[in-house]
Amino acid sequence: MRYFYALIGAIILSSCSQNLGSMPSTGISQNVNVHFDGSQPNITKVSKISDKQDQKIVISGSGFGTMQPYNGDSNYLQILDTTGGWSAGYTSSFEVDSVWLNVTSWSDKKIVIKGFTGDYGQSYWILMKGDDLQISVWNAQNHSGPATKSKKIK
């Protein structure tokens, strides 16, 4: 549960700050940073996500920037299990996830994940059928975002 409370604190703190280079708030309730270079991330589709540790997850869209493949955490990708109260693949000044993502490719239009690693399976850090997920992507070059998409584990 401590990770859940840390995550809630990070969300509250991040909603109170504004990144350099972003435009002032327009009063819209959604926390979106818009950058002048036009590369705001947008998720159009997330492939099916099952309750398995090893699986292929494809995130499609635009404005993701590019990154080298990695197995771990980054500042630009998070899979949050809102039902289970844990998160994978994300690191920030407020949080370092113990469950990692095995990202095998990252282009401006598609991110491919081959599964969950690190401490997946420890404690309550597992995917279960019916869990609600929130997938968030930030642009790896200009840090704009996040773009988010909700998904239910089938």
For 20-79, write each residue's pLDDT tens digit.
Answer: 333 333 333 334 444 445 589 999 999 999 999 999 999 999 999 999 999 999 999 999
Q: Higher confidence at residue 73 or residue 8? A: 73
Helix segments in 72-140, DSSP class H: none
Query: Could you give the 3-state DSSP secondary structure of residue 6?
Result: helix
Please give the model's pTM, rounded to 2 decimal places.
0.76
Q: Centre a 10 Å sphere on the Cβ of residue 55 and count the other Cβ atoms it contains.
A: 15
pLDDT of residue 38: 52
Query: Can you say whether residue 63 is alpha, beta or left, with left for phi > 0 and alpha for psi between -120 and 50 degrees?
Result: left
**Closest CA relative to residue 13, chosen from 106, 104, 125, 92:** 92
CATH of domain 2-20+39-152: 2.60.40
Query: pLDDT by residue (tens digit) across 104-146?
Result: 999 999 999 999 999 999 989 999 999 999 999 999 999 999 9
What is d(CA 85, CA 5) in angstroms, rounded to the nearest whole number?
9
Q: Tokens at residue 68, please?
A: 């080298």
Residue 151 — φ and ψ, nearest 5°? -150, 145
> In terms of pLDDT, which residue wins out, 14 or 126?
126
Closest among 78, 74, 71 to 140, alpha carbons compared: 74
Read off the pLDDT of each residue in 77-96 and give the average, rounded to a whole number: 96
